Structure 1
Amino acid sequence: MATLVVGASGATGKLLVKQLLKAGQNVKVIVRFSSSVPETWKNNDRLTIIKVDAIEAIGIDEMMVYLEDCQSVASCLGHSPNFKGIYGKPRRLVTDMVELLCQAIIKDAPEKPLRLVLMNTAGNSNRDLNERISIGQKIVIGLLRLLLPPHVDNEKAADYLRIKIGQKNPFVEWVVVRPDSLIDLENVTAYSAHSSPTRSALFDSGKVSRSNVAHFMCQLLLDDKVWERWKGQMPVLYNDMIEEK
């Protein structure tokens, strides 16, 4: 069995693929033809590289083929941090991919539910828990919804899993991982996962390395105990010690 990773060519996606391969997992990645991939990927028997013209143009039946022999799937998709990536199309890149993955899984109707892990952001509240945020943060979030389409995309992607898929879907189980401010550290270090933010994502943000995010996502996908602890939830990640780079 394998894990399918979308958004694998991104900074965190590459680290997730590395973690999965290190754990002995077979991995499939979907990348654009224009994406650059590490040379080490090209000669790895446990890694299948699926190249497409446009990720957003994949259909349900095509995705069902990519999901064959997979017991889990992870999305590290995000909008490029430039004007085109933020304000250009597709504005629902993350949400549309989550919907496509779920619809393809449900149409295939596997005997055992597939695990879906979505990388999101600590700036997105888990409205299942009615998380407390300050009035100032509510105001800023309202402005972000108006000014930054990627923020709305992250919210809608998580909401699709919370509301449409829910907690009792027979074919899809999910976790939405919410890292706080991302930093680059080469190695996995001590980190912690929390059901809700322990600090303001906007006014007192913590830090977490992409390596730690990738490690946690890998644990969710492969470790049954970790999965049972967090399935149907939106854990927030912080490094145990704040390290700058």
Structure 2
Amino acid sequence: MKRDKSTILENQMLADGIYKMTLETPECAFTAPGQFAMLEVPEKFLRRPISVSSYDSDRYVLIYKVVGDGTKKLSRMEPGEKISSLTGLGNGYDVDTIPDGCTLIGGGIGIPPMLGLAKSLVIAGKKCRVILGFNTANEVFLVDEFKNFTDDITVMTADGSYGQKGFVTDAFDTLDYACACGPLKMLQALDGKVRKGQFSLEARMGCGFGACMGCSIQTKVGSQRVCKEGPVFDKEVLLWETL
């Protein structure tokens, strides 16, 4: 974990209610795809957890959805403004254990971490298939960016207005291994069709680094904190009935 005072380089709308914020930092603290940052929002007491879509040595990219007053304030911040954050948080995807040809599945605002994972897999010399799920065409984002890392991309929309009609689970029968991030209902639906994998969970967080215990969940290996031991867990340890 690192405390940052980062400079906003861009903060632009990608799709309906979806924004991309690029931040310049003196020294990037992220070490694995799937980690997140806790951003300090003006006039708000609690920081907001936001997943990271990509990072390099001196900058990182956050993609977030405007869902309340806090994220609305974030969306109004301008390039050149400074923002305080905690970076390099959480347990990300373990690229070394992901098999070649793995399927990456993202739904809605769970899609950004999959972009960073796709990039990391390519760097590691591994191929991947990507399945992305959205509600409708005006919410679609990042599809072109995924094309930099794979030619095997399937886009699903619930209303059929873009790509194929249906949910991400309609894009395949069963999978031996998959990495996923998205709404809990999506992950639960995937559980019955994916034998093994790494799933990233969403949770309300107070501190973001494991001190407050507010995001604790019960797993097959005991109590775990989504912000510390997660947000990425081996699918096999999750107890869906407790989530």
- Work out whether the TM-score is over 0.5: no
Length-normalised TM-score, structure 2: 0.36
Length-normalised TM-score, structure 1: 0.36
Which structure carries more relative contact order (alpha carbon 8 Å, separation 6+)? 1
Bigger share in helix: 1
